[in-house]
Amino acid sequence: MMLNLSRRRLPQTLTVSSVRTVICGSSINDRKLHQLVKSGRGGRSSYSGILATVFGGTGFTGRYVINRLGRVGTQIMVPYRCDEHDIRHIRLMGDLGQIMFRPFSLRDTDAVSELVKHSNVVINLIGQDWETRNYTYEDANVEGARAIARACRDHGVERLIHVSALNVDKNSKSHWLRSKAAGEEAVLEEFPDATIVRPSDIYGQEDRFFNYYAELRMLPFGVPLLDGGLKATKIPLYVADFAKAIAKMTVDDTTAGRIYELYGPHEYLLYDLVGTIFSAFLSVMETVGYIPWLTRDKLIRQNLSDRVTPELPGLEDLGIEKTTIDKIATFVLRRHVGVSGADIDWDLVRKLNTQSRT
């Protein structure tokens, strides 16, 4: 199947009585879904009517989002700046010709413009986790986000979904969180109808949450926790729940112009989470050299409690049932030391967590 780069626009008055989609897991009735002009029998070999550009699609969360979109026949453009061999696995998430790749630079505004001009949905998953010689937080999280939003506005893109972060605050102690807050403002200035998504720490098989703390076991001085991890609380979000939410937003016009906070079903003290992870290890800590993801800013924001805004919509408003951490965490940690599900009693962890806070 050849990728159709012509934008498919239909009158806003078009409605469908029943469109069954895998993304939503349910029927969508009587909604103006001009994007969803299906051809084929459904699934990866069909065309859903959505042509999406996914910035940051080569990262941890990106592959889950692309897979969720690909399974319903979304045509996807994936900008990348890594080695082309590092993205081969993404091709399998869609039928032949459904997923296209193009190298780009976030500073190249012409390239950004070219990448979005044929799309009716753009998803920005870019989030510079630490500063490098090439990109500062402002370069990636603010000016990069602004460039994408401006290109979407100039080319009349119908939907822009911008992924920010829970706890964003322009007065935060964390430089990263300040830049994400500024990024939200930049996006809304250029594209007021953008959907802003604020996820908590996302966990999964290749995450930077459980694996982050698991790798720290190798440091000779232990895990760096401010106040012993007894003041910070976390509400981790499962990556599959995150991907479902993003995919559902692409077909739900009511999410435009809204801010969503996505987080898991249970709140934990950071002390209890880290203690539980380390109780599963049987090996002695070993000394290693520099770990790129251990930075001073990472230390600050990991020791900030997750704060939610009750009046903002979340997973429940998208009809998605939250996944509990005990279903996934032991599977994620198994590759480190062969942990089995029976080794961690999550009910006891929650009980101890409650006692610690009281």
C-alpha distance from residue 72 to each of 23, 117, 119, 256 (Å): 7, 22, 16, 21
Question: Is residue 6's pLDDT more than 80?
Answer: no
Where does the pLDDT of residue 205 fall: very low under 50, low under 70, confident under 90, or very high at 90 and above? confident
- What integer pLDDT is reported at residue 229 of this predicted model? 79
pTM: 0.72
The helix or strand, by DSSP H or E, that contains position 100, with its residue range, turns out to be strand 99-103
Lowest pLDDT segment from 71-80, 93-102, 163-172, 329-338: 329-338
**Closest to 304 measured CA to CA, from 207, 166, 196, 180:** 166
**Closest to 31 measured CA to CA, from 11, 46, 17:** 17
- What integer pLDDT is reported at residue 167 of this predicted model? 93
By CB atoms closer than 10 A (0-12, 13-18, 19+), residue 284 is: exposed
Question: Is residue 195's pLDDT more than 80?
Answer: yes
CA distance 323 to 273: 17
How do 51-55 and 121-124 pair as beta strands? parallel
**Nearest 5°: phi and psi at 32?**
-75, 95
- Segment 340-344 shows an average pLDDT of 58
Cβ–Cβ under 8 Å, residues 237 and 201? yes
CA distance 93 to 72: 10
The more confidently predicted of residues 276 and 62 is: 62
**Closest to 37 measured CA to CA, from 64, 65, 2, 72:** 72
Question: Is residue 12's pLDDT more than 60?
Answer: no
Q: Name the average pLDDT for the chain.
A: 80
- What integer pLDDT is reported at residue 224 of this predicted model? 78
The amino acid present at 27, given as its one-letter code, is S
Where does the pLDDT of residue 15 fall: very low under 50, low under 70, confident under 90, or very high at 90 and above? very low
The amino acid present at 125, given as its one-letter code, is L
DSSP 148-173: HHHHHHHTT-SEEEEE--TT--TT-S
Cβ atoms < 10 Å from Cβ of 5: 12
By CB atoms closer than 10 A (0-12, 13-18, 19+), residue 74 is: buried
The more confidently predicted of residues 26 and 84 is: 84
CA angle 279, 284, 287 (to 5 degrees): 120
CA distance 228 to 214: 17
The more confidently predicted of residues 79 and 344 is: 79
- Would you say domain 51-356 falls under CATH 3.90.1150.200? no
